[in-house]
């Protein structure tokens, strides 16, 4: 027997509504509710689990109306050969790995803007030997032909040899930055994959070319960044 459960997709919990609109993590917005700062249709709301009709109800925070906008967040394991210019201006065609696909412009800005210094970690294979000297050069900053040298980057050597394997964490995201940093040291990146961005990690079980919706825990971590924490 099949049981159909009718759900009103316009109804969502008040704490989820507030968190998705960038007012903080679930526990932070619960505090806003408990301290009487949130009203639904002019009446102070006290329960985080109260259901809100996103089209009909008016939610306000300290008197300021917050309109609901449905945002979607997906983790994509980008294959090489796929252009992603509309959702990420720093990944290039032959770079693989973690990409956040979202219509949440404010969050994208927080994650991708070079001025926000969100850490991004790449796994790379390098043609040639990567040495301890390179670790220091990356830490000190490298001249890649921009106005200023790159900010300190953390290089971890996984394997050093005629082809080396490394992980590099940068906090800027200048155009083709990883390749240009190695080029400046006379070395060539032959494979590049983004494995993390801020709190998001590329899941081991997310096959190249596939995507999945963010978990609640991942969304919560992003909401923390969006609310500027």
Of residues 92, 104, 133, 134, which has the active-site annotation?
92
Is 179 a binding residue for ligand URA by CB under 6 A? The answer is yes
Q: Does 183 bind ligand URA (CB under 6 A)?
A: no
Decide: is 102 part of the binding site for ligand URA (CB under 6 A).
no
Task: Give the tokens for residue 46.
Answer: 């006290």
Measured in degrees and rounded to the nearest 5, phi and psi for residue 170 equal -120, 160
Rounded distance between C-alpha atoms, residue 152 and residue 137, angstroms = 9
- Contact stretch for ligand URA (CB under 6 A) within 13-21, 66-74, 75-83, 85-93: 85-93
* Residue 57: active-site member: no
Q: Which stretch binds ligand URA (CB under 6 A): 51-59, 72-80, 91-99, 139-147?
A: 91-99
Written as six digits, the tokens of 162 are 């005629």
Task: Give the CA count within 13 Å in the CB-facing half-sphere of 12.
Answer: 16
Comparing CA positions, the residue from 101, 116, 20, 7 lying closest to residue 68 is 20
CB count within 10 Å of CB 67 equals: 8
Shortest distance (Å) from residue 175 CB to ligand URA: 8
Closer to ligand URA by Cβ: residue 179 or 187: 179
* 112 makes contact with ligand URA (CB under 6 A): no
Eight-class DSSP state of 115: G
* Binding window for ligand URA (CB under 6 A); candidates: 88-96, 101-109, 126-134, 198-206: 88-96
**d(Cα 51, Cα 107) in Å, to the nearest integer?**
25
Residue 51 CA to its chain's centroid (Å): 28
Which listed residue (21, 59, 178, 202) binds ligand URA by CB under 6 A?
Answer: 178
Residue 91 engages ligand URA in binding (rule: CB under 6 A):
yes
State yes or no: residue 77 binds ligand URA (CB under 6 A): no
Contact criterion met (CB below 8 Å) for 125 and 141: no
Query: Of 75, 115, 110, which Cα lies nearest the Cα of 223?
Result: 110
Contact between 92 and ligand URA by CB under 6 A: the answer reads yes
Residue 142 touches ligand URA, criterion: CB under 6 A: no
Give residues in contact with ligand URA (CB under 6 A): 90-92, 95, 173, 176-179, 192
Q: Which residues are catalytic?
A: 92
């Amino acid at each position: 027997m099949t049981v159909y459960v009718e759900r009103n997709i316009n109804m969502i919990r008040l704490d989820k509504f507030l968190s998705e609109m960038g007012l903080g993590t679930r526990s932070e917005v619960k505090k806003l509710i408990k301290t009487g700062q949130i009203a639904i249709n002019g009446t102070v709301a006290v329960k985080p689990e109260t259901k809100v009709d996103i089209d009909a109800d008016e939610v306000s925070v300290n008197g300021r109306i917050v309109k609901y906008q449905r945002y979607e967040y997906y983790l994509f394991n980008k294959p090489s050969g796929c252009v992603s210019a509309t959702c990420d201006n720093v990944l290039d065609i032959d770079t693989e790995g973690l990409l956040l696909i979202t219509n949440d412009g404010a969050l994208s800005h927080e994650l991708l803007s070079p001025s926000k210094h969100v850490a991004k970690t790449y796994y790379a294979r390098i043609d040639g030997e990567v040495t301890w000297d390179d670790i220091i050069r990356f830490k000190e900053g490298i001249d890649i032909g921009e106005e200023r040298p790159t900010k300190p980057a953390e290089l971890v050597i996984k394997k050093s040899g005629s082809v080396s394997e490394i992980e590099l964490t940068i906090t800027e995201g200048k155009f083709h930055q990883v390749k240009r940093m190695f080029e400046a040291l006379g070395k060539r990146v032959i494979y590049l994959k983004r494995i993390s961005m801020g709190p998001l990690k590329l899941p081991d079980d997310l096959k190249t070319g596939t995507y999945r919706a963010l978990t609640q825990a991942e969304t919560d971590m992003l909401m923390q960044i969006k609310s500027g924490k």
